[in-house]
């Protein structure tokens, strides 16, 4: 079901623009493995923008002290406003996201939703965050990756890109594989095994070697249910 819905909503190529003051932080996570291959296959375009290119003066100033005297620097509204305006002049954006510890907690459902969009912007904060007026007037969605505070929004943004990209049809050789991962349909994934069938006296469950596909599927479903009930009973209530 999810699989079909996914295809119906599928556009040509997803575009993700990431805005940051530390572009270097995004280099490695977005240039290897599945994300790299998806980019090369033309399934997703991820463009990193250095907010400093819109900074003020010779020093490409992008931050300033906060009014009220709290310690720490705040990213200024103007460079972000100008950068986003330039992007919006070229295309429509479905969502302008700010990564923030007080945003809505990211989950697989949100990853699915985002993967069906065409163009999104992800703004990474740094230091004490961004001027509140950016959040009030420009941002359309605020996402957190959990109840802890990082130094910047870059790692959270890379996480979103990874979670979203692997859901795009074609990104993984067998799309079905992304759809049987944890949290799709609110179930944890069943355990997986590979060769050898026995190591150190530890055996792979007999059924997996039986070649009986229907029985294996039933076993996997049972395992997924059992695991979810044991480790995440809260998820079962949502089914
Ligand atoms: N003063 C802010 C924290 C700023 S941390 C506060 O207390 O809420 C600097 C930046 O890191 C933030 O602007 C945000 O973009 C990013 N960040 C930190 N923790 C995050 C989290 N859990 N989820 C998403 N982004 C986070």
- 75 CA: nearest ligand 1 atom: 13
Residue 185 alpha carbon to ligand 1 centre in Å: 29
What confidence tier does 175 reach under pLDDT thresholds 50, 70, 90?
low
What confidence tier does 21 reach under pLDDT thresholds 50, 70, 90?
very high
User: CB of 51 within 8 A of CB of 86?
Assistant: no
1 vs 118: which has the higher pLDDT: 118
| Percent of the chain topping pLDDT 70 | 95
User: Nearest CA to 121 among 139, 155, 97, 145?
Assistant: 97
Average pLDDT over residues 46-70: 95
What confidence tier does 3 reach under pLDDT thresholds 50, 70, 90?
very low
- 124 CA: nearest ligand 1 atom: 15
Average pLDDT over residues 91-116: 97
Query: How many whole angstroms separate alpha carbon 208 and alpha carbon 217?
Result: 9
- 147 CA: nearest ligand 1 atom: 22
Q: How many CB atoms lie within 10 A of CB 165?
A: 26
Say yes or no to pLDDT of 8 above 60.
no
Query: How many whole angstroms separate alpha carbon 202 and alpha carbon 205?
Result: 10
Say yes or no to pLDDT of 104 above 50.
yes
Say yes or no to pLDDT of 239 above 80.
no
Token pair in block for residue 204: 């792979």
Residue 164 makes CB contacts below 8 A (sequence gap 6+) with: 14, 16, 111, 114, 115
Residue identifier of the C-alpha nearest atom 20 of ligand 1: 101
- Quote the longest CA-to-CA distance of the chain: 70
> Is the beta carbon of 6 within 6 A of some atom in ligand 1?
no
Q: What angle do CA 178, 181, 184 make, to 5 degrees?
A: 95
What confidence tier does 176 reach under pLDDT thresholds 50, 70, 90?
low
Residue identifier of the C-alpha nearest atom 1 of ligand 1: 128
Residue identifier of the C-alpha nearest atom 18 of ligand 1: 150
Across the chain, the runs of DSSP E, i.e. the strands, are 14-20, 44-50, 63-65, 73-75, 95-105, 119-123, 141-144, 198-199, 202-203
Q: Which residue has the tokens 């623009």?
A: 17
């Amino acid at each position: 079901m999810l699989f079909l819905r996914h295809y119906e909503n599928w556009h040509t190529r997803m575009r993700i623009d990431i805005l940051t003051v530390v572009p270097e932080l995004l280099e490695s996570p977005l240039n290897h493995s599945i994300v790299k291959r998806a980019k090369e296959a033309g399934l997703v375009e991820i463009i990193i923008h250095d907010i400093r290119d819109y900074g003020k003066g010779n020093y490409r100033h992008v931050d300033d002290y906060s009014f009220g005297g709290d310690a720490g620097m705040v990213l200024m509204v103007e460079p972000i406003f100008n950068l986003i305006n330039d992007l919006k002049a070229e295309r429509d954006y479905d969502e302008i996201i700010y990564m923030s510890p007080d945003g809505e907690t990211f989950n697989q459902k949100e990853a699915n939703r985002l993967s069906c969009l065409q163009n999104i912007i992800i703004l990474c904060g740094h230091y004490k965050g961004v001027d509140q007026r950016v959040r009030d007037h420009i941002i359309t969605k605020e996402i957190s990756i959990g109840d802890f505070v990082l130094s910047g929004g870059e790692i959270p943004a890379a996480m979103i890109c990874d979670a979203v990209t692997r859901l795009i049809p074609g990104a993984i050789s067998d799309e079905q594989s992304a759809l049987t991962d944890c949290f799709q349909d609110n179930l944890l994934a069943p355990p997986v095994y590979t060769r050898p069938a026995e190591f150190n006296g530890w055996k792979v469950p007999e059924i997996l070697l039986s070649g009986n596909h229907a029985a294996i599927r039933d076993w996997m479903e049972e395992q997924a249910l059992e695991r979810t009930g044991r480790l995440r009973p809260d998820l079962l209530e949502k089914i």
